[in-house]
Amino acid sequence: MIIEPRMRGFICLTAHPKGCEQNVKNQIKYVQSKGHIEGAKKVLVIGASTGFGLASRITSAFGADAATIGVFFEKPPLEGKTASPGWYNSAAFENEAHKAGLYAKSVNGDAFSNDVKRQTLDLIKADLGQVDLVIYSLASPVRLHPVTGVLHRSVLKPIGQTFTNKTVDFHTGNVSEVSIEPCTDEDIANTIAVMGGEDWAMWMEALKSENLLAEGATTVAYSYIGPSLTEAVYRKGTIGRAKDHLEATAFTITDSLKSVGGQAYVSVNKALVTQASSAIPVIPLYISLLYKIMKEEGIHEGCIEQIQRLYQDRLYADKPVPTDEKGRIRIDDWEMREDVQAKVAKLWLEATTESLSAIGDLPGYKNDFLNLFGFEFEGVDYKADANEMVGISSID
Ligand code: NAI
Ligand code: NA
């Protein structure tokens, strides 16, 4: 079977095993090119199969020689159906880690559940004893609450009033106006339940209560702020409320980790094309303009460049870890540079279907989007039969 991208709306239904493998190999090569990081040696990554979480797992393993346990929710391949990209990424990651003599095992299932937490704690207990870094990088539209049994669905909506602005269909390049109706109070509560800090705190509490956190253990979760252009739908919308909650939770977790001398951080990352961000209206147009400017300035980064810099220049640079006035690590510093934002704001006003190909980086957006599913990588023979039942070695 020759595997090609099959699009439906904001998602691609197929993924390419060889391309995902190439993606992982490219990220490993990048991390290795930046030299050794004196970082954590036993790392748990929750949300480890794609995006920032995958980049965190790769940076831990190939930057700091860490043993890693990755938790994620991915679909294995079925007869006549490809796996989800995170499955192929994780299979490739484990292969490369094992070849390099690094411990790597994975848990595939719902990280919000008691069962997956139990499995992960047991694995740490049996194989690593304790962990000294926990990366929390989940992006999910739903959470089945393990205590109440309620299924919460997150929404991406403005709060209080209808938001109208430009957006782009990145498949066609068509720029149009989109209006998003304001959310209900219930939507806010649900979005906080899914993307806020409660589950992060539950993980840390579970790890601590079973003595699985090493002295001085650190945990990091990822957040986003972004410009005023996207504020109504992002930072001041439902998802922003969840991020406020996540950021506040860092302080509660730090308090609860006092007994082990631990510390929780939120790192504010750059806007990037991931499966999660492609689904947010307005953001793809912002990203395509941002990419254009940041590439021109020579300061564009992908997930792996961001996380490698997070480790090398923030987490494992000279203590104390540099943070903003709200205690957050900022690796969105280049995105948020005043000159960069002024240029994006100007282009935003000019953006139309006709002008976008000249003023925005739609090809860069599309390329990154296809890359998420293992397509468009150099060095991969996409004409070859790729119908493989790829397994993840620690799972199968
Ligand atoms: P992603 O969609 O690439 O990765 C999500 C990860 O979570 C995957 O490993 C997936 O398997 C896992 N996952 C989802 N639901 C799960 C569940 N129920 N159980 C176990 N694993 C589950 O997303 P991305 O973009 O890397 O997001 C990670 C974090 O980074 C999120 O908190 C997001 O808000 C944040 N962030 C994203 C930015 C962006 O522009 N993409 C910018 C700044 C922060
Ligand atoms: Na992730």
Beta bridge partners of 107: 71
Identity of the residue numbered 6: R
> How far is it, in rounded angstroms, from Cα 103 to Cα 134?
16
Ligand 1 atom with the smallest distance to the CA of 270 is 42
Q: Ligand 1 atom closest to Cα of 143? A: 18
Query: Which pairing describes strands 67-72 and 42-46: parallel, antiparallel, or unpaired?
Result: parallel
Nearest to 62 by CA among 311, 236, 298, 290: 311
Asked whether 75 and 8 are in contact (CB, 8 A), the reply is no
Instruction: Identify whether 234 is a catalytic site residue.
Output: yes
Q: Return phi, psi of residue 249, to 5°.
A: -65, -30
Going from the Cα of 170 to the center of ligand 2, the distance in angstroms, rounded, reads: 22
Look at residue 1 in the predicted model and tell me its pLDDT. Answer: 84
215 DSSP β-pair partners: none
Angle at 111 between CA 109 and CA 116, to 5 degrees: 65
Query: 12: how many CB neighbours lie within 10 A of its CB?
Result: 22
Q: What is the DSSP letter of 78?
A: B
Smallest-distance ligand from the CA of 272:
1
Torsion of CA 318, 321, 324, 325, to 10 degrees: -110
Taking the CA of 75 as reference, the closest ligand is 1
The CA 342 to ligand 2 mean position distance, Å, reads 29
- Ligand 1 centroid, distance to 133 Cα (angstroms): 18
Query: One digit per residue, pLDDT tens: the chain, 396 residues?
Result: 899 999 887 789 999 999 999 999 999 999 999 999 999 999 999 999 999 999 999 999 999 999 999 999 999 999 889 999 999 999 999 999 999 999 999 999 999 999 999 999 999 999 999 999 999 999 999 999 999 999 999 999 999 999 999 999 988 999 999 999 999 999 999 999 999 999 999 999 999 999 999 999 999 999 999 999 999 999 999 999 999 999 999 999 999 999 999 999 999 999 999 877 888 888 999 999 999 999 999 999 999 999 999 999 999 998 899 999 999 999 999 999 999 999 999 999 999 999 999 999 999 999 999 999 999 999 999 999 887 789 999 997
CA of 262 to the centre of ligand 1 (A): 24
Q: What residue ranges do the domains of the chain occupy?
A: 17-371
How far, in Å, CA of 48 to CA of 311, rounded?
16
Binding residues: 47-52, 73-74, 110-111, 138-139, 224, 243, 272-274
Say if residues 74 and 38 touch (Cβ distance below 8 Å). Answer: no
In CATH terms, the fold of domain 17-371 is Rossmann fold (3.40.50)
Identify the nearest ligand to the CA of 86 by its number: 1
**CA max distance for the chain:** 59
**Residue reference for tokens 């991406």:** 156
Partners of 320 in the β-ladder: none
Q: Which ligand sits nearest to residue 221's alpha carbon?
A: 1
Q: How far apart are CA 364 and CA 350, in angstroms?
A: 19
Within 13 A of 148's CA, how many CA atoms are on the CB side?
Answer: 8
Can you list the positions of beta strands (E) in the chain? 7-8, 11-12, 42-46, 67-72, 104-108, 131-136, 142-144, 151-153, 163-169, 174-180, 213-223, 263-268, 329-330
β-strand partners of 217: none
Atom 14 of ligand 1, residue of closest alpha carbon: 140
How many Cα atoms occupy the beta-carbon half-sphere of 183 within 13 Å? 24
Measured in degrees and rounded to the nearest 5, phi and psi for residue 228 equal -65, -25
- How many angstroms separate the alpha carbon of residue 141 from the centre of ligand 1? 10
- Residue 119 Cα to ligand 1 midpoint, Å, equals 21
List residues forming the annotated binding site for NAD(+).
47-52, 73-74, 110-111, 138-139, 243, 272-274
Counting ligand 1 atoms within 8 A of each CB, the residue from 10, 90, 138 with the most, and so the one to mutate, is 138
3-state secondary structure of 49: coil
Closest CA to 290 of 238, 342, 239, 327: 342
Structure token digits, residue 334: 């280049």
Mutate which of 222, 230, 234, 365 to test ligand 1's pocket (most atoms within 8 Å of Cβ)?
222
Neighbours of 102 (CB within 10 A): 17
The binding site for substrate consists of: 224
For residue 48, the ligand 1 atom closest to its alpha carbon is 9
DSSP designation for 297: T
Residues with C-beta less than 6 Å from any ligand 1 atom: 47-53, 71-74, 86, 110-112, 137-140, 222-224, 269, 271-272, 274-277
| 110: its two tokens | 């719902």
Please tell me which residue in 30, 88, 234, 365 is annotated as part of the active site: 234
State the Cα–Cα distance between residues 146 and 281, nearest whole angstrom. Answer: 30
pLDDT at 248: 98
